[in-house]
Amino acid sequence: MVRMRASGEQLEGVESSDAEAVARTLSGERDAYRVLVERHSQYVYRLAYRMTGNREDAEEVVQEAFLRAYQKLHQFAGNANFGTWVYRIAANYAIDRLRQRKSEDSRREQPKRAADGQAETDALDTMKDRAPSPERLAGSAQLAEKMKQALDTLTPAERTAIVMRHWDGCGIDEIAAVLKSSSTAAKNTVFRAVQKLRLALEPFAEPRGAARAAGTEL
């Protein structure tokens, strides 16, 4: 499913030893679970970091994902891929974390906004206004920082969709399964995320006509 996966015999070997570790854990050998944790922590961490945007939250997501996987191990189908399974659990938990964070942030921001008399606007509209000038974005570190900020303006579902699609090469159906939505909705979510990121990076390029997004005849 995901890019980090090897192919052929190597993959088969990893999967069979994963299955063995799962079976041993289920038979009461708790330490067998250590093999699975050590083997899959790194890439679950990469997913978690890209979704949460900070190390502390990412590490919490990893721990929680492995704890949940352990508690639900009896529900894990033996013929499935443990890596894919724990990846999904992590993605689901990360969405919950992001939503929780967003609602906490909005609760904190609401009184401030009311005091300033500001109306709530879509992140897509505000992104350009908040953008620093092209000069300030010259370096790649600044570009990365800008992208980080842009990712923070995405909704949890959009962020999950773009992380899964772009970095981990997941199929639309897989994204739909994590987002609990239809394939069409998942595809739209990925595209919405791409559009928001594209607008956020607009200061890098020459201004373009707004008609473009609608595909207007010229």
Q: Residue numbers of the site for other proteins (CB under 8 A)?
A: 25-28, 30, 33-34, 37-42, 45-46, 49-50, 55, 59, 62-63, 66-67, 70-75, 92, 95-96, 99-100, 103, 106, 140, 143-144, 146-148, 157, 162, 166-167, 179-182, 185, 191, 194-195, 197-198, 201, 204-205, 208, 212-218
Q: Closer CB to other proteins, residue 115 or residue 218?
A: 218
DSSP 168-180: T---HHHHHHHHT
Q: Closer CB to other proteins, residue 15 or residue 194?
A: 194
Q: Closer CB to other proteins, residue 12 or residue 198?
A: 198
DSSP 132: P
Q: How far apart are CA 16 and CA 79, in angstroms?
A: 9
Instruction: Compute the least distance from the CB of residue 186 to other proteins, in Å.
Output: 11
Instruction: Compute the least distance from the CB of residue 82 to other proteins, in Å.
Output: 13
Instruction: Compute the least distance from the CB of residue 107 to other proteins, in Å.
Output: 11
Q: Closer CB to other proteins, residue 8 or residue 182?
A: 182
Instruction: Compute the least distance from the CB of residue 103 to other proteins, in Å.
Output: 6
The Cα-based distances of 197 to 142, 203, 204, 211 in angstroms read 15, 12, 12, 18
- Side chain identity, residue 37: V
Q: Closer CB to other proteins, residue 9 or residue 56?
A: 56
Q: Closer CB to other proteins, residue 8 or residue 28?
A: 28
The Cα-based distances of 158 to 17, 22, 165, 193, 210 in angstroms read 34, 32, 10, 5, 22
Instruction: Compute the least distance from the CB of residue 11 to other proteins, in Å.
Output: 19
The Cα-based distances of 92 to 4, 22, 48, 68, 217 in angstroms read 19, 21, 10, 11, 42
Instruction: Compute the least distance from the CB of residue 88 to other proteins, in Å.
Output: 9
Q: How far apart are CA 69 and CA 89, in angstroms?
A: 7
Q: How far apart are CA 113 and CA 121, in angstroms?
A: 11
